A and B are shown apart, each in its own frame.
Chain A
Amino acid sequence: MTDRIERQLELAASAARVWESLTNPALLAEWLADEVTLELRPGGDASFRSGDELRSGWVEEVVAPVSGSDDADGGQSGRLTFWWAEDGEPASRVELVLSEIDPATTLLRIVETRPLEILDLVGVPLPGQGGARYGPALVAA
């Protein structure tokens, strides 16, 4: 029993184009939220506004798909991980992983998890020292 959402879908686009949709705020505004700011580096700030709902967060990991990567037949893959929370709500972690199947098809997997409370309830230990890795909303709580 964990707070975990997982979705996977094939998109009709190259890894480079999907990556652009995941990281360019103007393109993110077409599908993720009405207005997005995203500092593309670990520890960078992020904000997401949809209507009057505002979420803030931070970036954990950015791995852009690399052109002409070493493994010739393995497609490119990339990963963007961030945390977000509405004001006063527990933060959750969003992981977006893409892998190119062929130049016109990319598999996108999203996983959103809320690692506190329930995970802990079933005995999964908190990672890191004193849970210091958790997002700003939790530290404030």
Chain B
Amino acid sequence: MAEDPAGAVFGALAEPVRRQLLQTIADHPATATELASRLPISRQAVTKHLSSLSAAGLLERERAGRDIRYRVTPAPLTQAMSWMAEVGGQWDDRLSRLSRTLQAPGSPDATLPG
């Protein structure tokens, strides 16, 4: 994994071809040869993009006979889950503080419109 995982992921996904590759692999794990036959890119280009995606931690490799099959690694998704739990909890705390402040007696008046 790179030092800055988010930056590496962003870099890897900046290229539309790599997003398309990732999408294809997310549907079905595949080898470079299979990907090259499915997409309008050369096998050589596929291999190059696959290594960027792997370096960003988005793909993992497994042996398939003489070939290597790529699948999408679930790690970034796990990170997303923990982000949601943490950020959601923070908002629950903040919003209950906000609700308490607004209910406090003696706070500034509510000026009514028109």
Interface residues, chain A, CB within 8 Å of chain B? 1, 3-5, 7, 9, 11-14, 16-18, 20-21, 27, 30-32, 67-69, 76, 88-90, 92, 103-104, 108, 110, 112, 114, 116-118, 120-123, 130-131, 138, 141
CB pair A18 B114 closer than 8 Å: no
Q: Is B113's CB under 8 angstroms from A76's CB?
A: yes
- Distance in Å from the Cβ of B114 to the closest Cβ of chain A? 4
Q: Which of A7, A20, A69, A117 contacts B91 (CB 8 A)?
A: A7
Bound together, the chains give a CA A88 to CA B72 distance in angstroms of 25
* Majority DSSP secondary structure for residues of B touching A: helix
> Is the Cβ of B94 less than 8 Å from the Cβ of A141?
no
Identify the B interface with A (CB < 8 A): 4, 6-7, 9-10, 13-14, 19, 22-23, 26, 58, 72, 76-77, 80, 83-84, 87-88, 91-92, 94-95, 97-99, 101-103, 107-108, 110-114
Q: Evaluate contact between A116 and B102: CB separation under 8 angstroms.
A: no
